[in-house]
A and B are shown apart, each in its own frame.
Chain A
Amino acid sequence: MLDLFRKRRMWRPTAELKDNYDVVIIGGGSHGLATAYYLARDHGITDVCVLEKAYIGSGAAGRNTTILRSNYKTSEGARFYDASVKLYEGLGAELNYNLLFSQEGHLTLAHTDRAMFVMVERAEVNRLAGIDSRVIGPEEIEGLAPAMAMSRDAVHPVMGALYHPPGGIIRHDAVVWGLARGVDRGGAEIHPYREVTGVERSNGRATGVTLSDGTRVGAGMVVNATAGWSSTIASMAGVELPITTHILQAFVTEPLKPLLDVVIVSSQMHVYISQTDRGEFLIGAEIEPWTTYRQQGTLNFIQEASRHTLELFPQLERARILRSWAGLCDISPDFSPILGDTEVENFLISTGWGTYGFKAAPIVGKTIAERIGTGTTPDLIEPFALERFYRDRLVSELGAAAVSH
Chain B
Amino acid sequence: MSFLLTCPNCGEREVTDFAFGGEVVPRPSSKPSERELNTYNYFRRNVAGLQREWWNHRSGCRAWFLAERDTTTNEVRWVALPGA
Q: Do chains A and B touch in the complex (CB under 8 A)?
A: yes
How many Å lie between the Cα of A240 and that of B47 in the bound state? Answer: 11
- The reply to whether A242 and B44 contact each other, CB–CB distance below 8 Å, is yes
- The reply to whether A241 and B74 contact each other, CB–CB distance below 8 Å, is no
Instruction: Tell me how far the C-beta of A169 lies from the nearest C-beta in chain B, rounded to whole angstroms.
Output: 28
- Does A243 reach chain B (CB closer than 8 Å)? yes
Instruction: Tell me how far the C-beta of A77 lies from the nearest C-beta in chain B, rounded to whole angstroms.
Output: 18
Q: Which of B2, B43, B44, B46 has the most CB of A within 10 A?
A: B46
Asked whether A244 and B22 contact (CB < 8 A) given A292-B71, A293-B72, A390-B35, the answer is yes
- The reply to whether A294 and B15 contact each other, CB–CB distance below 8 Å, is no
Asked whether A293 and B71 contact (CB < 8 A) given A300-B1, A392-B38, the answer is yes
Asked whether A242 and B73 contact (CB < 8 A) given A232-B48, A299-B1, A300-B2, the answer is no
- Does B12 reach chain A (CB closer than 8 Å)? no
CB contacts between A and B, total, < 8 Å = 74
Question: Which residues in A have their C-beta under 8 angstroms from that of B68?
Answer: none
How many Å lie between the Cα of A392 and that of B38 in the bound state? Answer: 6
Name A292's closest neighbour in chain B (CB-CB).
B71
Question: Which residues in B have their C-beta under 8 angstroms from that of A231?
Answer: 44-48
Question: Which residues in A have their C-beta under 8 angstroms from that of B16?
Answer: 300
Question: Which residues in A have their C-beta under 8 angstroms from that of B22?
Answer: 244, 291
How many Å lie between the Cα of A293 and that of B16 in the bound state? Answer: 18
Name the contact of B46 in the complex, choosing from A243, A288, A290, A296 (C-beta under 8 A).
A243
Interface size, chain B (Cβ < 8 Å): 27
- The reply to whether B44 and A244 contact each other, CB–CB distance below 8 Å, is yes
Question: Which residues in B have their C-beta under 8 angstroms from that of A245?
Answer: 46, 48, 71
- Does A268 reach chain B (CB closer than 8 Å)? no
8 Å CB contacts to A: which residues of B20-62?
A: 20, 22-23, 34-35, 37-39, 41-48, 51, 53
- The reply to whether B20 and A240 contact each other, CB–CB distance below 8 Å, is no
- Does A229 reach chain B (CB closer than 8 Å)? yes
Question: Which residues in B have their C-beta under 8 angstroms from that of A291?
Answer: 20, 22-23, 46, 51, 53, 71
- Does B81 reach chain A (CB closer than 8 Å)? no
How many Å lie between the Cα of A245 and that of B22 in the bound state? Answer: 11
- The reply to whether B73 and A294 contact each other, CB–CB distance below 8 Å, is yes
- The reply to whether A290 and B44 contact each other, CB–CB distance below 8 Å, is no
- The reply to whether B35 and A229 contact each other, CB–CB distance below 8 Å, is no
Asked whether A290 and B38 contact (CB < 8 A) given A242-B43, A298-B2, the answer is no
- The reply to whether B71 and A294 contact each other, CB–CB distance below 8 Å, is yes
Question: Which residues in A have their C-beta under 8 angstroms from that of B73?
Answer: 294
Question: Which residues in A have their C-beta under 8 angstroms from that of B48?
Answer: 229, 231-232, 245, 293
How many Å lie between the Cα of A289 and that of B72 in the bound state? Answer: 15
- The reply to whether B1 and A298 contact each other, CB–CB distance below 8 Å, is yes
- Does A333 reach chain B (CB closer than 8 Å)? yes
Q: Interface of A with B (CB < 8 Å)?
A: 229, 231-232, 235, 240-245, 288-294, 296, 298-300, 333, 389-392
Q: Interface of B with A (CB < 8 Å)?
A: 1-2, 15-16, 19-20, 22-23, 34-35, 37-39, 41-48, 51, 53, 71-74
* 18 A/B residue pairs, CB under 8 Å, sorted by A: A231-B44, A231-B46, A241-B43, A241-B46, A244-B44, A245-B46, A245-B48, A289-B20, A291-B22, A291-B23, A294-B73, A296-B74, A298-B1, A298-B2, A300-B2, A389-B43, A391-B38, A392-B38
